[in-house]
């Protein structure tokens, strides 16, 4: 997908949740953060020379920091996020620069997707498609979260989750296999 089709898919997702055109563009902090990420990621992946990339990325790093200060949402340009990304509420959202999120994912306020673990388990999560991550959840370590997963509010996910799992708690336990239909 082109960067414009990715931005459009994000915009359409925000509109689906009830925001009008002006509200989405001017008042929706999650959209601001995803828009900034899409533009910065385009530049980041298309400049192969690391020295040149560092220089060209300076304005984008400043832009990201401003968005982070205003919204409390940190999405580095190096992260990989599929189409139709939605941030339900702003503030306290941290996504590691090596994180991979699939398409059609929803995340809520206070979500952290981070590096964690020791030894072979140290790393960053890979999150599948159609995943809902509830408020205050932490997803950390070199783990895989399958497609159509729901991670409940205030849960800590530090182990792999299979497709269609509904996980809750600290550490998260699978409580159902109903998946994310209705959440996304």
Domains of the chain, with CATH numbers? 1-77 (no CATH), 92-184 (2.160.10.10)
What pLDDT, on a 0 to 100 scale, did the predictor assign at position 87? Answer: 96
pLDDT for the residue 105: 98
Of 174, 156, 152, 154, nearest to 165 (Cα)? 174
SS3 category, 152: coil
Residue 1 has pLDDT above 90, yes or no: no
pLDDT band, very low/low/confident/very high, at 118 (cuts 50, 70, 90): confident
pLDDT at 117: 85
Q: Give the pLDDT band of residue 90 (cuts 50, 70, 90).
A: confident
Active site residue 89: no
Q: What percent of the chain has pLDDT over 70?
A: 100
> Among candidates 106, 47, 112, which has minimal Cα distance to 75?
112
Phi/psi at 137 (nearest 5 deg)? -75, 150
pLDDT of residue 168: 97
Backbone region of residue 57 per phi and psi (left: phi > 0; alpha: psi in -120 to 50; beta: other values): alpha
Q: What is the pLDDT of residue 182?
A: 87
Six-digit token pair at 141? 């370590």
What tens digit of pLDDT does each residue of 139-151 get?
Answer: 999 999 999 999 9
Torsion of CA 148, 73, 9, 57, to 10 degrees: -120
38, 41, 83, 126: which is the annotated catalytic residue?
Answer: 83
How high does pLDDT run on average in the chain?
A: 95
Mean pLDDT score, 82-91: 94
Sheet holding 144-145, edge to edge: 80-81, 100-101, 126-127, 144-145
For residue 13, pLDDT over 90 is answered with: yes
Q: What's the pLDDT tens digit per position in 147-178?
A: 999 999 999 999 999 999 999 999 999 999 99
pLDDT at position 20 over 90: no
111 pLDDT higher than 90: yes
**166, β-bridge pairs:** 150, 176
């Amino acid at each position: 997908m082109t960067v414009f089709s990715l931005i459009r898919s994000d915009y359409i997702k925000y509109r689906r949740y009830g925001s009008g055109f002006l509200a989405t563009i001017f008042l929706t902090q999650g959209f601001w953060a995803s828009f900034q990420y899409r533009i910065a990621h385009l530049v980041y992946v298309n400049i192969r020379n690391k020295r040149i990339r560092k220089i060209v990325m300076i304005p984008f790093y400043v832009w990201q920091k401003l968005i982070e200060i205003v919204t409390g949402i940190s999405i580095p340009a190096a992260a990989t996020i599929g189409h139709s990304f939605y941030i339900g509420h702003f503030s306290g959202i941290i996504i590691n620069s090596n994180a991979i999120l699939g398409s059609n994912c929803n995340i809520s306020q206070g979500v952290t997707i981070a590096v964690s673990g020791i030894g072979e388990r140290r790393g960053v999560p890979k999150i599948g498609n159609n995943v809902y991550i509830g408020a205050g959840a932490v997803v950390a370590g070199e783990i895989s979260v399958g497609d159509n997963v729901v991670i409940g509010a205030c849960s800590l996910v530090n182990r792999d989750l299979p497709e269609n799992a509904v996980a809750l708690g600290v550490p998260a336990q699978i409580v159902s296999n109903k998946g994310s239909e209705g959440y996304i």
